Structure 1
Amino acid sequence: MKKIVGLIFLMSIFTSNIYSQKLYVWCQKEQIPTPRKNFLQNQEIDLVLFDSRTMTDNSKIECSSEEVVRNLIDLIKDTYPDANFNVLESDKFYQNPEPNKITIKIAISAFQAAFGADVKIGIGNIGGSFAWGVFPEGKWNAITGYSVMIYNYKNGNKNKITEQFGKIASRPNTGGYRTAKNMLNKSYIEANQEMFSFIDRTLME
Structure 2
Amino acid sequence: MTNSWHERFSTEEYVYGKEPNEFLVSAVQELPKGKVLCIAEGEGRNAVYLASLGFDVTSWDFAQAGLDKTKQLADEKGVVVTTELRDLAEVTWEEGQWDAIIHIFGHFPRNVLDRTLVGIKKALKPGGFYISELYTKEQLRYGTGGPRNEEMLCDPINLLKQFNGYFVKHFHIGEVNRVEGQLHTGTAHVVQSVFQKREED
- Give the TM-score normalised by the residue count of structure 1: 0.36
User: Of Structure 1 and Structure 2, which has the larger fraction of its residues in helix?
Assistant: 1
- Give the TM-score normalised by the residue count of structure 2: 0.36
